[in-house]
């Protein structure tokens, strides 16, 4: 296609769009020239300069169709440039108004700034630029409500989906409470939507320029923006040109486009800065401001007080010149002064204050970083705020996780030429200073010397000595890394160096040592610097150093205490801390931290002992410590060393020792309690006169004697009603013997008493110690901790799991997918709850000859006649007493119980475990079907399910250990504080949602049968959890204990102990207080009456009744009473216990 | 062949053990359930092969669940320690996880495999994806162990 015929050919073209696409496939200059010809054609003219270029209102934004993207950057950028240069007058006007607008923002004149936006809209056109800025102004003027009101208003005027999309994000990021991280996550959620990579790049370029790692799809970004307004397009091309300036591949293209913009008459300092940045301005630096150069000169000479004054003056004149902000702060630091407001405007002082915090690295470092980034986020298209982003990142980031080019945006957006540009990269080094200015300004000569590494001429300029040395040190870095290590070390060791200069020297020394692979110097440099100020290391990328040390197997020339401390600073996991700690200990020839010689009071040693020699790290010493106890003992030894070394914090160390000691004690009790919790109350049954069967036994003996003589047979009616018609069994005629039938009756009587007596029955124990929520409280929390089980909404329905709701939102999963995922969890939750209920209500139940309703009951005490006949024969072989008879029967029951418990243990570890594993497998399969592959949430769910499978299996194994006969329950003697804390700890053991009751103890004595007391407190807490209708974190449990001996009026101890438990918790608004009152009234009124204890064995029976049973029969206290009080949103229970006490149980 | 198997999931441990009982070259199979007990065993006795789970608790015991005791890459720590102490034993990873980590630390099994090959080239042999729902792992494990005979 020849140029002269281009327009004619286009007139004749049947496919004009294809024709134009072909044009856009050429290089930049050819495309641009071709378009200059073609724009005469009305079709092309309309495409280039349509109503979307200068919309009259927001509804006109991005409404014109774009040409297809050719993928050819040169052609696309030519099209883009062509489409805006015609509007040079409008753009120049915008650039001027934009400056005023920015000035208004910085000087806090937000109403005027709002007017400026209106002027731009009215006089030039509407744009996304004005929408974005309007949101931030509304937020400043009218808060979040104003922001949302604007959102509502503008959305009603703009049906265009892209505009609605942008509006949403503009609004969110302007909100005061949206953090930079939150906004970044919002944007990242787009990655999971069904959007192409190139479209995402466009969106991120427009909305989150700071957050992306890199951009590559420039052709697409330009094409996508080609139907935006001229304001948006102009700002877009400037940003793109900056991106291209940092890529060698595009340097010549950048130069061509910049020249076009300049030649077409667009007057913008950004274009000049880009020309300087690319070293293509013919006259060197274009716009060095002499007033500012004078300030730099003053600073170079160390005239800091003058600098501060002069900055104040210049800031009024040039508020958008960020270099002034820097000099102001650095001068304050040089003078060792606190931050001082300029009183020019609130925004300027606020920015200065935050910058001061970053430069001085004080405790507000991270808050100030967030504030400054948030400032940028409000006005990201304005030059000052782009510089602010660049400066903030430069002062706080080590290069990881942020784009390196962001650091140089600073220069591309500077209001005036910045002489330090010569130090930026090899390209910018080529730019030169005007000779006259160079002669006039010391600051220019300094930069000139640094870049040329020539300092002879500076010796007599009056520059402070240290400052000159720093310039020389800096020069080494800018000249192919020829760093003068001895100069740097000299500077580093100077005590009067300010923190700002210190940081620069540390950064340079790090570079120098790293380049020389001098790890033995690198580590102490970093650790020593950390001890001076931890923020001194913020800008150093140390992770590769970690890798090198690990790669060297920690074998350094000189291993010192700095090695583990350096790894601690880098926040590695406990294994790497162990590895470095062990390496250090080996180097000083000891095995454990407690063997370290502590004669010298060294801050690093204190730091190591305090922060690194903790139980987490010590746990990894697999050859040194056998178990948890050994690890805790070692930590206690370390803490004792610390008490001697660092007396100021001795209270903290003592507190940790006390907490570890108590934890150790509580852990042991929990282990003991959980290792067998089935007690056989034979002695109590024997001693219980009410249940004595001695007369029945004597009758049996008489019958036996009579029957032996007269062969008296009787019909056994004991099972009459339970036998079905099909149960025809051949009965042994001997079993019709009257004495055998009598024996069976007594046996069954004892059995039923053993199993179901309301005072001592096994069923009561099972109900109190296992079925009363305990099993549920072991299994559900494991699933809850891993976010797999939902909370019940009603009997049949479940709530959404909030954790996954948030995750799905963060990952940008659709509502439909999220709902399906929640349905998977709800289904699973129901199946698990059903399984737990079945285990409790059907399997962990008792069946006997007289109680057959629980046909799956694993505690199967059904004895056949044949079996009983064998026992009968044993009993009747020789004359025996009633006590002997009981012993034989109890032996039988014990034997049967042991046999059953083994079966039940196996049932739990096999059948139940397999059942739960199947439920979990199903959940995994179900969720995989719902979520897309390689999706983060899916991966986390898989992780949690697999972890749960193992944890649940281990838990069931631990639960199976409960099913052993124990006699420890009666033997335990514990103090009240341990009792209460053990109850809390055992409830918290599996729960991620832990409870932290407020405790107070007055007095203290030891209590016999302490394990039962633990159960009592567990029941009180579990009742609060279950019936308060509140989240655990909102329960507000208070436990006040008054314990001690009862005393008479003379103050002499009586042989009774007292215990008053005041237990209170908050109640949810939905709790039926009337029903609760009725229930508690009934329990408290009948507290001394034991006739209602039969209900204790029932599931759903009152927890307080279970407490009554334990107090009355298991602990056998002298007396107890209970009171309650229901307030508006609180339940108070007071339990009083008086018990017999012996001398050895006296006060601790 | 003396094999040490470090695995905390009893079901998985039992089914691997049952499978290996039929493997004629296996003289003994010792099971340890945590990072510390596994390492202690590894450095106390001699083994010809190590079967390793990736996600392990730090320590065994009834209270192990009371503390933050679960390391998703606990197996990685074991291999790091072997490397640090120059203990070279052919190691096969047996895992139920197909993906590890979240966010920036996210890795699928293939990526983990590649990382292990890079970092532990002297000892790491291969990974086997274990699932209770199929038997594919059995053949793979047999083949890997045969290659060590």
Region of poorest pLDDT, from A245-254, A258-267, A468-477, A758-767? A758-767
Q: Are residues A988 and A1114 in the same domain?
A: yes
* Residues composing chain B: 149
Tokens read off for B65: 């669940």
Q: Predicted confidence band at A720 (pLDDT cuts at 50, 70, 90)?
A: very low
Residue A395: its pLDDT value, please? 94
Q: Predicted confidence band at A940 (pLDDT cuts at 50, 70, 90)?
A: confident
Q: What is the mean pLDDT of residues A135-152?
A: 94
Summarised one tens digit per residue, pLDDT across range A888-936 is 888 888 889 988 999 999 999 889 999 999 999 999 999 988 887 767 7
ipTM entry? 0.90
Tokens read off for B44: 């106390």
Task: Give the integer Cα–Cα distance in Å for A707 and A1074.
Answer: 62
Q: Are residues A562 and A640 in the same domain?
A: yes
Q: What is the mean pLDDT of residues A76-105?
A: 96
Residue A733: its pLDDT value, please? 58
Region of poorest pLDDT, from A292-301, A382-391, A481-490, A1051-1060? A1051-1060
Examine the pLDDT at A194 and tell me if it is beyond 80.
Answer: no
Q: Predicted confidence band at A827 (pLDDT cuts at 50, 70, 90)?
A: very high
Residue A427: its pLDDT value, please? 59
Examine the pLDDT at A382 and tell me if it is beyond 60.
Answer: yes
User: What percent of chain A has a predicted confidence (pLDDT) above 90?
Assistant: 49
C-beta atoms of A674 and B84 within 8 A: no
Residue A347: its pLDDT value, please? 97
Task: Give the integer Cα–Cα distance in Å for A1001 and A1021.
Answer: 17
Residue A383: its pLDDT value, please? 97
C-beta atoms of A627 and B39 within 8 A: no
CA distances (Å), A788 to each of A246, A818, A886, in order?
A: 48, 14, 50
**Domains in chain A, number:** 4
Examine the pLDDT at A405 and tell me if it is beyond 70.
Answer: yes
Q: Are residues A370 and A405 in the same domain?
A: yes
Q: Which candidate from A579, A921, A951 shows the least CB-CB separation from B133? A: A921
Beta strands A998-1002; A1038-1047: pairing state: parallel
Rounded to the nearest angstrom, the gap between the alpha carbon of residue A502 and the centroid of all alpha carbons in its chain is: 34
Task: Give the integer Cα–Cα distance in Å for A843 and A860.
Answer: 10
Summarised one tens digit per residue, pLDDT across range A542-594 is 888 999 999 899 988 889 999 999 999 998 888 999 999 999 999 999 999 99
Q: Are residues A1129 and A1078 in the same domain?
A: yes
Task: Give the integer Cα–Cα distance in Å for A957 and A673.
Answer: 15
Q: Are residues A179 and A320 in the same domain?
A: no
Residue A815: its pLDDT value, please? 84
- For B59-81, the DSSP string reads S-STTGGGSS-EETTHHHHHHHH
Q: Tell me if A111 is assigned to some domain.
A: yes
Q: Which of A310, A314, A322 is nearest to A347 (CA)?
A: A322
For chain B, list residues whose CB is within 8 angstroms of any CB belonging to chain A: 8-11, 35-37, 39-40, 43, 55, 58-59, 61-63, 65-68, 70-72, 77, 80-81, 83-84, 86, 96-103, 106, 108, 132-133
Residue A1096: its pLDDT value, please? 56
Residue A428: its pLDDT value, please? 61
The beta-carbon contacts of A687-691 under 8 Å, at least 24 apart in sequence, are: A688/A757, A688/A759, A688/A760, A691/A753, A691/A757
Examine the pLDDT at A771 and tell me if it is beyond 80.
Answer: no
Task: Give the integer Cα–Cα distance in Å for A1111 and A228.
Answer: 80
Examine the pLDDT at B67 and tell me if it is beyond 50.
Answer: no
Residue A721: its pLDDT value, please? 38
Candidates B7, B11, B56, partner chain A, best to mutate (most A CBs within 10 A): B11
C-beta atoms of A628 and B63 within 8 A: yes
Q: Are residues A300 and A421 in the same domain?
A: yes
Examine the pLDDT at A1145 and tell me if it is beyond 70.
Answer: no
Examine the pLDDT at A1067 and tell me if it is beyond 80.
Answer: yes
Beta-carbon contacts of residue A705 (< 8 Å; ≥ 6 apart):
none
Q: Are residues A182 and A263 in the same domain?
A: yes
Q: What is the mean pLDDT of residues B24-52?
A: 93
Q: Which of A842, A48, A914 is nearest to B14 (CA)?
A: A914
User: What percent of chain A has a predicted confidence (pLDDT) above 70?
Assistant: 91
- CATH number given to B2-148: 3.40.50.2300
Q: Which candidate from A934, A936, A938 shows the least CB-CB separation from B103? A: A936
Examine the pLDDT at A1037 and tell me if it is beyond 80.
Answer: yes
C-beta atoms of A943 and B97 within 8 A: yes
Q: For residue A1078, how many other CB atoms are within 10 A of its CB?
A: 11
Helix axes A485-492, A499-515, angle to 10 degrees: 150
Q: Are residues A451 and A368 in the same domain?
A: yes
A949 in contact with B at a CB cutoff of 8 Å?
A: yes
Q: What is the mean pLDDT of residues A210-221?
A: 85
Beta-carbon contacts of residue A441 (< 8 Å; ≥ 6 apart):
A290, A293, A294, A296, A297
Q: Tell me if A659 is assigned to some domain.
A: no
SS3 content of chain A, % helix, strand, coil (to 5): 65, 5, 30
Domain ranges, residue A1087:
972-1145
Out of A606, A627, A646, pick the residue that ends a domain: A646
Out of A595, A626, A646, pick the residue that ends a domain: A646
Q: Looking at A812-912, list the stretches that DSSP marks H as alpha helix, in order from N- to C-terminal side.
A: 815-838, 865-877, 882-906
Positive/negative CA dihedral, A631, A636, A640, A646: positive
Chain A residue at shortest CA distance from B104: A936
Candidates B58, B62, B69, B70, partner chain A, best to mutate (most A CBs within 10 A): B62
Task: Give the integer Cα–Cα distance in Å for A448 and A613.
Answer: 52
Q: Predicted confidence band at A728 (pLDDT cuts at 50, 70, 90)?
A: very low
Candidates A549, A571, A575, A808, partner chain B, best to mutate (most B CBs within 10 A): A575
Residue A731: its pLDDT value, please? 55
Instruction: List, in sequence order, every beta strand (DSSP E) within A669-774.
Output: none
Q: Are residues A332 and A256 in the same domain?
A: no
**H or E stretch at A33:** helix A28-38
Examine the pLDDT at A374 and tell me if it is beyond 90.
Answer: yes
Residue B49: its pLDDT value, please? 96
Summarised one tens digit per residue, pLDDT across range A431-481 is 778 888 989 999 999 988 888 888 888 888 899 998 999 999 988 887 766
Task: Check which CATH number belongs to the domain holding A976 and give it.
Answer: 3.30.565.10
Residue A1143: its pLDDT value, please? 46
Q: Are residues A583 and A617 in the same domain?
A: yes
Examine the pLDDT at A823 and tell me if it is beyond 60.
Answer: yes
User: Mean pLDDT across chain B, nearest whole number?
Assistant: 86
Q: Domains of chain B: which residue ranges?
A: 2-148
Distance from CA of A533 to the nearest CA of B (A): 29
User: Mean pLDDT across chain A, nearest whole number?
Assistant: 87
B-chain residues within 8 Å CB-CB of A556? none
Q: Which candidate from B39, B55, B65 shows the least CB-CB separation from A989? A: B65
Q: Predicted confidence band at B63 (pLDDT cuts at 50, 70, 90)?
A: very low
Residue A727: its pLDDT value, please? 45
C-beta atoms of A620 and B36 within 8 A: yes
Q: What is the mean pLDDT of residues A256-285?
A: 89
Summarised one tens digit per residue, pLDDT across range A773-809 is 667 778 888 898 889 999 888 878 999 999 999 888 8
Summarised one tens digit per residue, pLDDT across range B78-123 is 999 999 999 999 999 998 877 776 555 667 788 889 999 999 999 9
Residue A725: its pLDDT value, please? 37
A925, A926, A929, A935: CA torsion to nearest 10: -80
C-beta atoms of A943 and B37 within 8 A: no
A954 in contact with B at a CB cutoff of 8 Å?
A: yes
Q: What is the pTM of this model?
A: 0.75
Q: Are residues A294 and A325 in the same domain?
A: yes
**Pair B128, B93: CB distance under 8 Å:** yes
Q: Which of A643, A639, A634 is nearest to A611 (CA)?
A: A639
Chain B residue at shortest CA distance from A621: B36
Q: Tell me if A459 is assigned to some domain.
A: yes
Q: Tell me if A807 is assigned to some domain.
A: no
Residue that wins the pLDDT comparison between A221 and A1104: A221
Residue A710: its pLDDT value, please? 61
Residue A691: its pLDDT value, please? 61
Q: Are residues A243 and A313 in the same domain?
A: no
Out of A413, A437, A463, pick the residue that ends a domain: A463
Site of tokens 């089914």: B15
Residue A1146: its pLDDT value, please? 42
């Amino acid at each position: 296609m020849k140029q002269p015929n281009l327009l004619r050919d286009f007139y004749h073209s049947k496919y004009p769009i294809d024709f134009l696409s072909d044009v856009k496939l050429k290089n930049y200059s050819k495309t641009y020239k071709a378009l200059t010809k073609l724009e005469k054609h009305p079709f092309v003219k309309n495409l280039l300069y349509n109503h979307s270029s200068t919309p009259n209102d927001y509804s006109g934004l991005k409404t014109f169709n774009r040409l297809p993207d050719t993928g050819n950057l040169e052609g696309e950028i030519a099209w883009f440039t062509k489409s805006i240069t015609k509007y040079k007058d409008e753009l120049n006007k915008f650039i001027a108004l934009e400056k005023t607008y920015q000035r208004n923002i910085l000087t806090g004149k937000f109403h005027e700034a709002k007017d400026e936006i209106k002027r731009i809209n009215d006089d030039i056109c509407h744009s996304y630029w004005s929408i974005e800025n309007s949101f931030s102004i509304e937020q400043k003027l009218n808060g979040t409500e104003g922001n949302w009101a604007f959102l509502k208003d503008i959305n009603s005027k703009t049906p265009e989906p892209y505009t609605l999309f942008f509006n949403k994000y503009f609004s969110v990021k302007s909100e005061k409470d949206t953090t930079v991280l939150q906004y970044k996550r919002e944007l990242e959620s787009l990655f999971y939507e069904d959007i192409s990579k190139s479209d995402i790049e466009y969106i991120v370029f427009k909305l989150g320029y700071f957050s992306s790692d890199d951009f590559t799809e420039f052709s697409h970004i330009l094409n996508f923006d080609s139907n935006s307004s001229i304001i948006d397009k102009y700002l877009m091309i400037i940003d793109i040109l900056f991106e291209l300036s940092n890529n060698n591949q595009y340097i010549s293209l950048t130069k061509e486009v910049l020249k076009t913009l300049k030649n077409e008459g667009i007057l913008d300092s950004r274009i000049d800065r880009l020309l300087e940045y690319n070293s293509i301005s013919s006259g060197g630096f274009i716009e060095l401001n002499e007033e500012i150069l004078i300030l730099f000169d003053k600073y170079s000479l160390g005239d800091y007080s003058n600098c501060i004054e002069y900055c104040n003056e210049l800031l009024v004149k040039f508020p958008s010149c960020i270099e002034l902000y820097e000099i102001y702060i650095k001068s304050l630091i040089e003078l060792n002064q606190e931050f001082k407001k300029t009183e020019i405007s609130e925004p300027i002082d606020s920015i200065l204050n935050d910058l001061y915090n970053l430069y001085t690295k004080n405790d507000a470092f991270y808050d100030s970083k967030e504030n400054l980034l948030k400032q940028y986020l409000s006005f990201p298209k304005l030059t000052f705020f782009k510089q602010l982003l660049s400066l903030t990142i430069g002062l706080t980031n080590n290069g990881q996780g942020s784009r390196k080019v962001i650091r140089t945006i600073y220069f591309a957006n500077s209001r005036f030429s910045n002489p330090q540009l010569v130090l930026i990269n090899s390209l910018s080094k080529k730019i030169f200073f005007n000779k006259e200015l160079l002669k006039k300004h010391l600051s220019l000569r300094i930069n000139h010397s640094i870049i040329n590494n020539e300092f002879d001429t500076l010796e007599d300029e009056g520059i402070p000595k240290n400052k000159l040395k720093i310039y020389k040190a800096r020069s080494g870095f800018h000249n192919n890394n020829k760093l003068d290590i001895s100069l740097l070390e000299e500077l580093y060791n100077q005590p009067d160096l300010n923190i700002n200069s210190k940081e620069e020297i540390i950064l340079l020394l790090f570079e120098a040592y790293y380049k020389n692979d001098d790890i033995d110097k690198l580590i102490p440099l970093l650790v020593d610097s950390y001890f001076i100020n931890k923020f001194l290391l913020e800008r150093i990328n140390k992770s590769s150093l970690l890798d090198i040390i690990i790669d060297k197997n920690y074998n350094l020339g000189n291993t010192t205490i700095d090695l583990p401390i350096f790894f601690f600073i880098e926040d590695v996991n406990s294994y790497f801390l162990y590895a470095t700690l062990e390496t250090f200990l080996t180097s000083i020839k000891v095995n454990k931290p407690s063997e370290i010689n502590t004669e010298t009071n060294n801050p690093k040693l204190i730091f190591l002992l305090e922060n690194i020699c903790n139980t987490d790290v010590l746990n990894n010493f697999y050859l040194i410590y056998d178990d948890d106890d050994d690890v805790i003992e070692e930590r206690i030894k370390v803490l004792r060393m610390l008490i001697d070394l660092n007396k100021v914090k001795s209270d903290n160390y003592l507190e940790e020792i006390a907490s570890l000691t108590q934890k150790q004690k509580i852990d042991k009790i929990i282990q003991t309690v959980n290792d067998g919790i089935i007690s056989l109350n034979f002695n109590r049954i024997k001693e219980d006169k009410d249940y004595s069967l001695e007369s029945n036994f004597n009758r049996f003996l008489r019958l036996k004697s009579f029957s032996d003589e007269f062969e008296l047979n009787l019909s056994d009616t004991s099972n009459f009603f339970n036998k079905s018609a099909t149960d025809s069994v051949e009965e042994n005629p001997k079993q019709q013997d009257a004495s055998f039938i009598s024996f069976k009756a007594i046996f069954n009587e004892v059995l039923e008493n053993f199993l179901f007596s309301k005072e001592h029955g096994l069923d009561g124990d099972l109900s109190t110690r296992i079925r009363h929520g305990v099993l549920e409280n072991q299994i559900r929390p494991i699933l809850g901790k891993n976010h797999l089980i939902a909370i019940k909404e009603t009997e049949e329905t479940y709530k959404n799991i909030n954790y996954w709701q948030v995750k799905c939102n963060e990952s940008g999963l659709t509502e439909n997918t999220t709902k399906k995922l929640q349905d998977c969890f709800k289904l699973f939750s129901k199946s698990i709850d059903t399984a737990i209920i079945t285990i409790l209500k059907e399997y962990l139940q008792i069946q006997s000859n007289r109680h057959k309703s629980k046909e799956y009951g694993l505690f199967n005490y059904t004895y056949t006649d044949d079996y009983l006949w064998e026992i009968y024969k044993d009993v009747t072989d020789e004359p025996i007493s009633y006590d002997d008879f009981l012993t034989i029967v109890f032996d039988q029951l014990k034997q049967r119980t042991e046999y059953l418990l083994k079966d039940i243990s196996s049932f739990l570890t096999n059948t139940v475990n397999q059942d739960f594993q199947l439920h979990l497998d199903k959940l995994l399969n179900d969720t995989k079907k719902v979520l897309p592959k390689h999706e983060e949430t899916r991966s986390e769910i898989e992780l949690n399910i697999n972890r749960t499978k193992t944890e649940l299996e281990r838990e069931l194994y631990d639960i199976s250990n409960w099913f052993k006969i124990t006699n420890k329950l009666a033997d335990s003697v514990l103090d009240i504080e341990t009792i209460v804390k053990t109850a809390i700890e055992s409830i918290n053991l599996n729960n991620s949602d832990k409870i932290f009751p407020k405790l107070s103890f007055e007095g203290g004595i030891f209590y016999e049968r302490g394990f039962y007391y633990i159960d009592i407190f567990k029941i009180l807490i579990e009742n609060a959890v279950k019936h308060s209708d509140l989240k655990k974190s909102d329960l507000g449990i208070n436990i006040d204990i008054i314990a001690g001996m009862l005393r008479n009026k003379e103050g002499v101890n009586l042989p009774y102990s007292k215990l008053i438990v005041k237990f209170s918790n908050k109640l949810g608004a939905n709790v039926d207080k009337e029903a609760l009152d009725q229930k508690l009234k009934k329990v408290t009124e009948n507290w001394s009456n034991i006739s209602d204890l039969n209900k204790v064995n029932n599931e759903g029976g009152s927890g307080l009744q279970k407490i009554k049973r334990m107090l009355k029969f298991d602990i056998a206290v002298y007396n107890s009473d209970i009171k309650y009080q229901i307030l508006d949103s609180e339940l108070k229970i007071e339990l009083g216990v008086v018990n017999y006490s012996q001398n050895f149980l006296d006060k601790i | 062949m003396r094999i040490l198997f470090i695995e905390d999931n009893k079901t998985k441990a039992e089914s691997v053990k049952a499978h290996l009982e039929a493997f004629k070259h296996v003289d003994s199979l010792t099971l340890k359930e945590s990072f510390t007990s596994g390492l202690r065993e590894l450095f106390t006795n001699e083994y010809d092969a190590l079967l390793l789970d990736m996600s392990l608790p730090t320590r065994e015991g009834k209270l192990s669940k009371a503390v933050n005791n679960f390391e998703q890459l606990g197996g990685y720590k074991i291999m790091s320690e072997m490397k640090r102490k120059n203990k070279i034993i052919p190691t096969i990873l047996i895992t139920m996880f197909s993906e590890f980590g979240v966010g920036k630390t996210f890795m699928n099994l293939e990526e983990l495999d590649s990382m292990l090959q890079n970092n532990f080239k002297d000892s790491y042999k291969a990974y086997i994806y274990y699932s209770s729902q199929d038997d594919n792992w059995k053949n793979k494990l047999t083949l890997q162990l045969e290659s060590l005979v």
